[in-house]
């Protein structure tokens, strides 16, 4: 058979070098959405496949953390919870923070953890960090179920809290958490291709960041007791999300439109910067990882 001329050939996919920093190939991400589903399933199955309790760890980790925080920060330290039941207050903060922290820490090692795959086969590299954000939603959903069960228990025992209309913002708050974790994680994973030490600092840094967020104390307490440093906590974009989460489900929290718009802007900006840096580094990271 005679060979076709090059101009007569048609291809389903044409891979070209990136010449523009803003060429994000988002259409390819959508085309490979089935791969995204497979990666989400892989992350879920592989992480708990060789554990005795399996997915029960989804419940155990936030439950134990809530008990410890209630004992240490609530009973021993006597930190205010704005009149809310201590377990409810701490579990609300823990549930929200865990999703953000998981997205950040796992995304921050994407290049290092998947160097072998990235060097052998083509697929949109952004699929990998996106799969982490989506798979963490499963864990977040299970922990939310635990939080709702605890909420139901305290409701029938007559505890002092109330669900407000701010709960309608819950989907947006979850999206903002995922965007923040993804954006910061992409920036860090791009930097770790040259500076490996950053990978060791991420877990420690996330833990420090938690104490600069209103996970174990309300914003009102930080403002009243530590006014000199309260601005650091107020300008932390995760503070608005956790305060809004508590205001929606528990009726107590420092949340307003201005802080919400600020957090939304910072979240989108972090994602934009992260994707651009990730897009730039992915072209040459195989040579440095």
pLDDT digits (tens, 9 = 90+) for 248-262: 999 998 888 999 999
Please say if the pLDDT value at position 239 is more than 60.
yes
Specify burial of residue 251 (Cβ count, 10 A radius: 0-12, 13-18, 19+). Answer: middle
Average of per-residue pLDDT across 208-236? 89
Please say if the pLDDT value at position 8 is more than 80.
no
Nearest by Cα to 259 from 238, 240, 231, 233: 240
Nearest by Cα to 91 from 64, 54, 56: 64
Average of per-residue pLDDT across 208-218? 91
Cα 25 from Cα 123, distance rounded (Å): 10
| C-alpha neighbours within 13 Å on the C-beta side of residue 185 | 28
- pLDDT class of 200 with cuts at 50, 70, 90: confident
Place of tokens 């085309």: 31
pLDDT at site 1: 45
Please say if the pLDDT value at position 22 is more than 60.
no
pTM of the model: 0.84
* Rg, C-alpha atoms of the chain: 22
pLDDT at site 69: 92
Question: Which of the two residues, 107 and 59, has the higher pLDDT score?
Answer: 107
- pLDDT class of 17 with cuts at 50, 70, 90: low
What's the mean pLDDT when you consider all of the chain?
82
pLDDT digits (tens, 9 = 90+) for 130-176: 888 888 888 898 889 999 999 999 999 888 889 899 999 999 999 99
Average of per-residue pLDDT across 253-274? 93
Please say if the pLDDT value at position 128 is more than 50.
yes
Span of 48-52, 90-94, 176-180, 191-195 with lowest mean pLDDT: 48-52
Question: Which of the two residues, 38 and 156, has the higher pLDDT score?
Answer: 156
Where do the domains of the chain lie? 36-287
Question: Which of the two residues, 168 and 54, has the higher pLDDT score?
Answer: 168
Q: Please answer whether residues 193 and 289 qualify as being in contact, where contact means their C-beta atoms are separated by less than 8 angstroms.
A: yes
% the chain with pLDDT above 90 = 37
Please say if the pLDDT value at position 9 is more than 70.
no
Average of per-residue pLDDT across 223-246? 90
Q: Please answer whether residues 84 and 250 qualify as being in contact, where contact means their C-beta atoms are separated by less than 8 angstroms.
A: yes
């Amino acid at each position: 058979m005679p060979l076709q001329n090059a101009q007569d050939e048609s291809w389903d996919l044409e891979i070209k070098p990136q010449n523009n920093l803003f060429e994000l190939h988002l259409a390819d991400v959508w085309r490979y959405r089935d791969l995204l589903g497979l990666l989400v399933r892989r992350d879920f199955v592989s992480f708990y496949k060789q554990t005795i309790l399996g997915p029960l760890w989804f419940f155990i980790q936030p439950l134990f953390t809530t008990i410890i925080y209630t004992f240490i920060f609530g009973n021993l330290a006597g930190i205010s919870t704005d009149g809310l039941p201590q377990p409810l207050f701490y579990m609300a903060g823990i549930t929200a923070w865990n999703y953000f922290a998981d997205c950040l820490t796992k995304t921050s090692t994407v290049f290092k953890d998947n160097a072998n795959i990235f060097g052998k086969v083509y697929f949109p590299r952004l699929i990998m960090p996106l799969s982490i954000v989506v798979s963490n939603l499963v864990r977040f959903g299970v922990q939310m179920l635990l939080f709702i069960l605890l909420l139901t228990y305290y409701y029938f025992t007559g505890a002092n809290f109330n669900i407000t209309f701010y709960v309608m913002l819950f989907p947006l708050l979850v999206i903002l958490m995922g965007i923040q974790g993804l954006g910061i994680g992409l920036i860090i994973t791009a930097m770790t291709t040259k500076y490996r030490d950053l990978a060791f600092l991420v877990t420690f840094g996330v833990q420090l960041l938690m104490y600069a967020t209103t996970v174990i104390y309300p914003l009102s307490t930080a403002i009243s007791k530590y006014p000199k440093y309260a601005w650091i906590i107020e300008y932390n974009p995760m503070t608005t999300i956790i305060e809004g989460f508590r205001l929606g489900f528990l009726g107590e929290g420092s949340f307003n439109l201005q802080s919400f718009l600020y957090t939304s802007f910072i979240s989108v900006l972090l994602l934009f910067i992260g994707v651009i840096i990730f897009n730039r580094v992915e072209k040459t990271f195989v040579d440095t990882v």
